[in-house]
Structure 1
Amino acid sequence: MRDYCIRAAEPDDLDAARAVMLDTVYRDFGTGYVPRWHGDIIDPATAYLAPPRHTLLVAVDRRDGGVVGTAAVDARGPLHPPNPRWVAERYPSGATAQVRRVYVRPEHRRRGVARRMVEALLDFVAADGRYQAVYLHTDPAVPGAEAFWRSLGKVVHDERADGQGQRVLHVEIPFGGERRA
Structure 2
Amino acid sequence: MHNYSIRAASPDDLDGARALMLDTVYRDFGTGYVPRWHADIIDPAAAYLASPRHTFLVALDARGGVVGTAALDSRGPAHPPNPRDLAERYPSGATAQLRRVYVRPEHRRRGLARRLVHELLAFAAADGGYHAVYLHTDPKVPGAESFWRSLGKVVHDEREDTGGGNGVVHFDIPMER
Q: TM-score, normalised by structure 2?
A: 0.98
For 2:20, what is the secondary structure of its paired residue? Answer: helix
Report the residue type matching 1:38 in the other structure. Answer: H
Equivalent residue runs for 1:81-160 within 5 Å: 81-160=80-159
How much does 1:24 deviate? 0.1
The two structures, once aligned, show a CA RMSD in angstroms of 0.7
Question: Following superposition, which runs of at least 4 residues in structure 1 exceed 3 angstroms of deviation?
Answer: none
Quote the residue 1:32 is aligned against.
Answer: 32
> What 5-or-longer segments of structure 2 have no aligned partner?
none
For 1:45, what is the secondary structure of its paired residue? Answer: helix
Quote the residue 2:46 is aligned against.
Answer: 46
Quote the residue 2:73 is aligned against.
Answer: 74
How much does 1:176 deviate? 2.3
Deviation per CA, 1:65-101: give whole Å up to 9, x if none.
1100000000000011110000111000000000000
Q: Write the distance in 2 (CA, Å) between the matches of 1:25 and 1:117.
A: 19
Report the residue type matching 1:116 in the other structure. Answer: R
Deviation per CA, 1:31-76: give whole Å up to 9, x if none.
10000000000000000011110000000002x1110000000000
Q: Write the distance in 2 (CA, Å) between the matches of 1:46 and 1:169.
A: 27
Report the residue type matching 2:49 in the other structure. Answer: L
How much does 1:2 deviate? 1.0
- Higher mean C-alpha deviation, range 159-168 or range 144-153: 159-168
How much does 1:163 deviate? 2.8
For 1:176, what is the secondary structure of its paired residue? Answer: coil
Q: Write the distance in 2 (CA, Å) between the matches of 1:142 and 1:32.
A: 14
Q: Write the distance in 2 (CA, Å) between the matches of 1:146 and 1:33.
A: 21
Q: Write the distance in 2 (CA, Å) between the matches of 1:120 and 1:176.
A: 10
Deviation per CA, 1:124-150: give whole Å up to 9, x if none.
000000000000000011000010000
Report the residue type matching 2:139 in the other structure. Answer: P
How much does 1:161 deviate? 1.3
Q: TM-score, normalised by structure 1?
A: 0.96
Give aligned pairs, total.
176
Report the residue type matching 2:140 in the other structure. Answer: A
Quote the residue 1:61 is aligned against.
Answer: 61
2:171 equivalent to 1:166? no
